[in-house]
Amino acid sequence: MFFQQMHPTWQAWLAEYEPALQELEAKTSSSLPSAELVMRAFSQDPKAIRVVILGQDPYPNPGVATGFAFAIETGTKKPRSLINIEKELADDLNTVLPASFDLADWAKRGVLLLNTTLTTLPNQPGSHSKLGWEKFTKAALVKLASEQQVIVLAWGNPARELASELPRAVVIESAHPSPLSASRGFFGSKPFSRANSALEILGLEPITWL
């Protein structure tokens, strides 16, 4: 199911990973998010992606993770990381976010919201960090960056390390938006306006963040 849930272009680019995805699917039957959402970030056409936002693993609270990094199901309580992202977005763009704001909408506008680990056990953050997801997501990002120019927002050390291995990618680094590190370099980093400036320099369409 995981491989089949991907966009045909992703399937063509990552065909050699179909057996690995089958193994991961067998190992994650009781994990979060639900099986139909695990590969959601890969359901979009990669040719439309201009910005990549790298997360680590899904929210571990049942009913929260959506398959898009940092996004949540409508009506659920916002995690602190998402609150901090919204605060920085509003400050960066000097605006007030609408009540209907949904981070998942960015996936329709050329943003890949990708966790490096796509599953986790309920209430156990990081529990699948050594399961094998990182090899797959790294391969996907390396392929994406080799096919087209992308801007990578690398938040936190794991994201920075992965972004450093992406050919041609323009990397914008900062601290992670988690409550433990947001005040140490995420707040005030202006990642959204900087990403759009980088896109314009490359002759690419900026992202409509709101």
* Torsion on CA atoms 78, 182, 55, 172, rounded to nearest 10: 130
Q: What are the backbone dihedrals phi and psi of residue 13, each rounded to the nearest 5 degrees, phi first?
A: -70, -35
Name the phi and psi angles at 104, rounded to 5. -60, -20
Q: Which tokens belong to 22?
A: 């089958």
Show which residues are catalytic: 57
Evaluate whether 156 touches 175 at the Cβ level (below 8 Å).
yes
DSSP state of 176: -
Q: How far apart are CA 12 and CA 126, in angstroms?
A: 29
**How far is Cα 6 from Cα 86, in angstroms, rounded to an integer?**
28
